[in-house]
Structure 1
């Protein structure tokens, strides 16, 4: 959570913190509009379906930014200066002032991020319940799928794969036990890279031997993203004293 990530572009600032978006968001801006737009009946105008799909992707990005805003507020309450937040397809990575980041802070931010994910899922689901009728179908469908996407993201984050939040929780525990952020980052990155590879292998098998080809391709991409983030962990660990 303390590294600067390449392959990302600056999209603005939030609470005086620079916000960058990683190229892995291309996957989100394909998956969500495609999924949402295909859920409507053929009678629904194509332009309407595309607009609602893109709106759902925008709301998803807004939800991720809301989650990061919560973490920035928590970090600020601990007098921690956050310099940059990089938004990945699966969440955000924070770059703080070097001396202010501790195992306790990482654990606090990680648990807060997990709880925020489930809270946002609940918000989307409640909006889905409000609009859950035939007369509001066009408004209901995006929120129904956003609740599903965010629940999937929330559960996926529980896996002990670094840099997902389950993996960052283990990273903070390793760091506290061995008293070395460098070793903890290296150990967590190794496990993240291996598990990311396992996700890709499983996805390739799914693609080859079932009809779930789109799902398989999605998880292949997700495995590559996890491995890419874990590789950044290796590089960051090598730069640590």
Structure 2
């Protein structure tokens, strides 16, 4: 018996006004344990797709199912509960709280989910240790490098043991060395069984991190390719398809 996919979108359409849809009938699936990259230029529909999967927005039509939950049918309270229980999110600019220590930042999701302070602290310290930044537990985020802050953000995203990790341009604000550290961290997490959806415009990051890459153009799936594992397969193919009329 085949296991159901972790993510399944069926003919998902999202319209915001009378113009072209932000998503134009997207159908895709992501298996549990996969690392899949969503690739595309600005305006391609990447952010809209991410918001639908995270339960931050709803499709105009079609279905969105994540880990067996029909996300498109959830109300506001149900969506918040779903994100706390099933989704971990990593952002380009970290989104850490500067007035909280590293340890307290990591503990926030667990406390919002109702975990006791002692248990949350133990879990947070364990994560910081596994990510090699436990020595910074009492520091404040602004005292850390970009790469260190992103590791804190990863620890926070993993706090509630999410079924799905959403990484939105996770290396976009980092120097090349820190970006490579985060890339390797994502590979390690995926090798341990974590399902990851990586949203990026960086062809090389997608090719060297994800097992599969889906390219969006004008809100539709343009390509869905399996990477060869070397990081060269996708990057060696044709460049990212630019929407009609795109400049530069």
Return the TM-score normalized by structure 2: 0.30
Indicate the structure whose relative CO is greater, using CA pairs within 8 Å and at least 6 residues apart. Answer: 2
Give the TM-score normalised by the residue count of structure 1. Answer: 0.30
